[in-house]
Amino acid sequence: GAVVSQHPSRVICKSGTSVKIECRSLDFQATTMFWYRQFPKQSLMLMATSNEGSKATYEQGVEKDKFLINHASLTLSTLTVTSAHPEDSSFYICSAREDRASNQPQHFGDGTRLSIL
Amino acid sequence: AQKVTQAQTEISVVEKEDVTLDCVYETRDTTYYLFWYKQPPSGELVFLIRRNSFDEQNEISGRYSWNFQKSTSSFNFTITASQVVDSAVYFCALSDFYNFNKFYFGSGTKLNVKP
C-alpha cells in the first residue's frame, strides 16, 4: 500500500536552531501534502497545505515565516521550523494525498517528535 | 461549522470486554467522509476505516465494527473482545467529499485495555 516516509522521527536541539522535517511519498505522486501539529494529549491540528510548485496555504494563526514549507517535487515536502524555541516542541505529522483516486485520501507519515531545549 | 466531538477522553476496560467509542460530528455539507484512526504510543496514525455520507450501512471488520447514523450525526466504533494491543488513542475525523483537503479531527479517546 501507499507509504509516506517522514524524517527524522525525533529531534532534540537547542533553542534558536532551525530544524527541517522531510515528508516523502514513496510509491505515489502527491501534488498536495499536509502538515499537522499535535501537542501532548491533544488532537491533530492542520497547520498548512503544501502544493507542489506553489506557495503553501497556512491555517489561521500559523506563522508562515516561522514554519517554512517547500514542496519542490511531487514526492517531497519539507517543513522548516526556523529559530525554534521550547514552545515549538511538539509532534509534527505530515500527510500526502494521492493524485489518483484511492480509498485513503490522505496517507500519514509516522511523525516527528521535536524537542527544543 | 465543521466539528468532531469525542466526548470520552479516556476509557479503561479489562481484556475481552466490548467497548464503544463515541463520535459525533457537525457539518454544513450534505456529502462528506468520516474516518477512524488509531494512534498507538509510538505516534503513527493507523487508518481504520473511511465511510462516505451516502452509505449508512454498518461495517464489520474482524473485532471492529462501526455504526454510522446520519439522523444523530454519529459514527461510533465498537471493539469486541478487546485485547491489550488495542490500547491506543483513537481519533474520529471528518473531511469534505470532493477535495479531501481538510481533516477535522476529534480530540481523541484514549483506550486502556488491561490484562
pLDDT in tens, B75-107: 999 999 999 999 999 999 998 876 666 789 999
The one-letter amino acid code at B9 reads T
Asked if the model's pLDDT at residue B22 lies above 70, the reply is yes
Contact A44 B101 (CB under 8 A): no
**A97 interface with B at CB cutoff 8 Å:** yes
Contact A43 B106 (CB under 8 A): yes
Contact A97 B100 (CB under 8 A): yes
The whole-angstrom separation of Cα B37 and Cα B50 is 9
Cα dihedral value B9, B96, B99, B53, nearest 10: 110
Closest Cβ opposite residue B44 in set A97, A104, A111: A111
Closest Cβ opposite residue A110 in set B44, B91, B102: B44
Asked if the model's pLDDT at residue B71 lies above 70, the reply is yes
Classify strands B32-39 and B88-96 as parallel, antiparallel or unpaired: antiparallel
pLDDT of residue A104: 62
The whole-angstrom separation of Cα B26 and Cα B43 is 27
Contact A108 B45 (CB under 8 A): yes
Asked if the model's pLDDT at residue A101 lies above 70, the reply is no
pLDDT of residue B1: 76
